[in-house]
C-alpha cells in the first residue's frame, strides 16, 4: 500500500541549507509521543530482490530487497560448488549488471548499512564484494569500511556462501577500528554477497591460505545477516539515484524504511535550502524490518535547477532522532 500527502512551500529566506533536516526532524519526532514500536510483522509478506539485470530495473523495482528472506533456490545436486562458481564466472565475464552494495553511513543510532545499486562488471557476487572493498559510493554520505582487498571468487554450496580473498590484507582489525565497526564491516560483506546471490545463507570469508578471519572477526562457522532493525539504516532511498537528471515532471521516490506506523516523511529543498515541497509516503509495513515505499511526486511546479530530496524514519520508541537519507537531483 502506498499513499502520500504533499503541499507546495513558498521560499522562506530565513531557512538555510539544513532547514529540511530540522523540518523533517520535527515531523518525524512526532512519532515519539506514541509508544509501542514493536508491532509484529510477518517476514513472508514481502520478497527479497537485491539483484536486477540492469541499473534501471534495479532502481525501480528492487525495493523488496531488505524486506525478508531471499527467494532464490539453493544450488543442489551432483554439481560441485566450485564448478558452479567457475561456470557462473565464465558466463558472466565482461558482462555488466546492477548489484546492491551495502555501504556504511552515520545515523543517530550509530553507524548502519545503507544500500546503493552499483553497476559492476563480471560475476555479480564477486564483483559486488569487490566494489564494496575498493569502490566508492555515489552518495557522498556513504563510505566503504574497507580500502583494500581483492576477491578471488565466491562459491555457494547450498548451505554456506564462501568469499575467497587473494591474500590476508584484511585479516587483522586495523588500528583505530573498533570491534563494533569491524563487525559492521563483516555485515556489509554478508549483506552484499547474499543480495547478489539471492541466498540468505551463512557467509565464510577466507584468504588464499584458508584462514577465515576478516577484520579480526572469525567467520569459520559462517556469519549470518544481522537483524535489519539493528544493522541497516531505518530509511534508505533507492530512487532517485544520486545526481540524477529529471527530464519530465514526475520524481519517482522509492526506497525501504522501518518507520513508526509506516509513515515516511519527505521534503524537497532547493539550492538555497528552502523547502519547496513536502509530504509523506506510507510504506508497506513497519516493526522489525524494512519495508518498501513508493510514490510518484509531481514536481511540475519546480523550475529548472538542483534540488535535494530527503526522507526520514518517523520516530518510535527508543529512537532519539530520525534517521534520514538524501539524494541530490537536477530538473531540466
- Per-10-residue mean pLDDT, the chain, length 332: 42 34 41 29 37 41 42 34 46 82 96 98 97 98 97 97 97 97 98 97 96 98 97 98 95 96 97 98 94 98 97 73 96 93
Single residue among 186, 202, 226 that ends a domain in this structure = 226
Residue 243 and residue 186 share a domain: no
Domain boundary among 176, 205, 226: 226
**pLDDT at position 96, please?**
94
- pLDDT in the model for residue 74: 33
The pTM for the full model equals 0.78
> Distance between CA 240 and CA 253 in Å, rounded?
6
Residues 238 and 220 in one domain: no
**Helix (H/G/I), strand (E/B), else coil: 89:** helix
Domain assignment present for 219: yes
192: its cell numbers: 552484499
What is the predicted pLDDT for the residue at 24? 52
DSSP line for 285-313: --SSS-EEEEEEEE-TTSPSEEEEEEEE-
Together in a domain, 209 and 246? no
Per the structure, the count of domains in the chain is: 2
**pLDDT (0 to 100) of residue 85:** 45
CA distances from 135 to 101, 116, 147, 223, 295 (A): 10, 12, 8, 23, 30
Predicted pLDDT of residue 126: 98
C-alpha span between 298 and 288 (Å, rounded): 31
Domain assignment present for residue 57? The answer is no
- Residue 111 lies in domain: 67-226
206 and 248 together in one domain: no
Model pLDDT, residue 137: 98
Same domain, 78 and 165: yes
In a domain, 59, yes or no: no
**Do 93 and 237 lie in a common domain?**
no
Residues whose CB is less than 8 angstroms from the CB of residue 125 and which lie 6 or more positions away in sequence, other chains included: 154, 156, 161, 193, 196, 197
Q: 279 and 301: one domain? A: yes
User: Is residue 297 one of the residues assigned to a domain?
Assistant: yes
Query: Is 60 inside any structural domain?
Result: no
Residue 152 lies in a domain: yes
220, 71: one domain: yes
pLDDT of residue 78: 33
Distance from the first to the final alpha carbon of the chain: 31
Query: Do 160 and 111 share a structural domain?
Result: yes
**Domain end call among 206, 226, 246:** 226
Q: Which three cell numbers stand for residue 169?
A: 590484507
List alpha helices for the chain, DSSP H.
19-29, 55-61, 81-92, 124-134, 179-197, 228-231
Give pLDDT, residue 3.
Answer: 40
Cell of 270: 532547493
Q: Can you give the pLDDT at residue 37? A: 26
In a domain, 61, yes or no: no
Q: 61 by DSSP, 3-state: which?
A: helix
Amino acid at each position: 500500500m502506498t499513499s502520500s500527502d504533499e503541499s507546495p512551500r513558498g521560499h522562506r529566506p530565513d531557512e538555510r541549507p539544513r532547514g529540511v533536516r530540522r523540518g523533517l526532524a520535527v515531523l518525524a519526532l512526532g512519532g515519539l509521543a506514541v509508544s509501542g514500536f514493536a508491532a509484529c510483522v510477518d517476514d513472508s509478506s514481502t520478497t527479497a530482490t537485491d539483484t536486477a539485470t540492469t541499473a534501471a530495473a534495479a532502481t525501480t523495482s528492487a525495493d523488496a530487497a531488505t524486506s525478508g528472506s531471499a527467494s532464490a533456490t539453493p544450488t543442489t545436486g551432483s554439481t560441485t560448488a566450485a564448478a558452479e562458481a567457475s561456470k557462473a564466472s565464465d558466463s558472466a565475464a565482461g558482462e555488466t549488471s546492477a548489484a546492491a552494495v551495502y555501504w556504511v553511513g552515520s545515523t543517530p543510532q550509530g553507524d548502519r548499512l545503507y544500500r546503493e545499486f552499483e553497476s559492476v562488471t563480471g560475476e555479480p557476487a564477486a564483483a559486488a564484494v569487490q566494489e564494496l572493498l575498493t569502490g566508492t559510493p555515489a552518495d557522498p554520505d556513504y563510505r566503504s569500511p574497507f580500502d583494500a582487498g581483492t576477491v578471488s571468487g565466491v562459491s555457494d554450496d547450498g548451505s554456506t556462501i564462501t568469499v575467497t580473498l587473494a591474500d590476508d590484507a584484511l585479516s587483522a582489525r586495523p588500528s583505530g577500528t573498533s570491534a563494533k565497526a569491524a563487525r559492521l564491516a563483516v555485515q556489509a560483506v554478508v549483506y552484499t554477497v547474499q543480495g547478489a546471490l539471492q541466498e540468505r545463507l551463512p557467509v565464510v570469508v577466507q584468504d588464499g591460505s584458508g584462514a577465515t578471519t576478516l577484520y579480526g572477526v572469525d567467520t569459520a562457522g559462517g556469519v549470518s545477516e544481522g537483524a535489519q532493525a539493528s544493522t541497516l539504516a531505518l530509511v534508505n532511498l533507492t530512487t532517485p539515484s544520486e545526481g540524477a537528471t529529471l527530464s519530465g515532471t514526475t520524481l519517482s521516490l522509492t526506497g525501504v524504511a522501518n518507520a513508526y506506523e509506516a509513515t515516511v516523511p519527505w521534503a524537497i529543498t532547493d539550492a538555497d535550502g528552502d523547502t519547496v515541497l513536502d509530504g509523506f509516503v506510507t510504506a508497506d509495513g513497519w516493526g522489525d524490518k524494512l519495508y518498501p515505499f513508493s510514490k510518484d511526486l509531481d514536481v511540475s511546479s519546480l523550475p529548472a535547477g538542483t534540488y535535494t530530496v530527503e526522507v526520514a524514519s518517523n520516530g518510535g520508541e527508543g529512537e532519539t532522532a530520525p534517521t534520514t537519507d538524501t539524494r541530490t537531483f537536477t530538473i531540466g
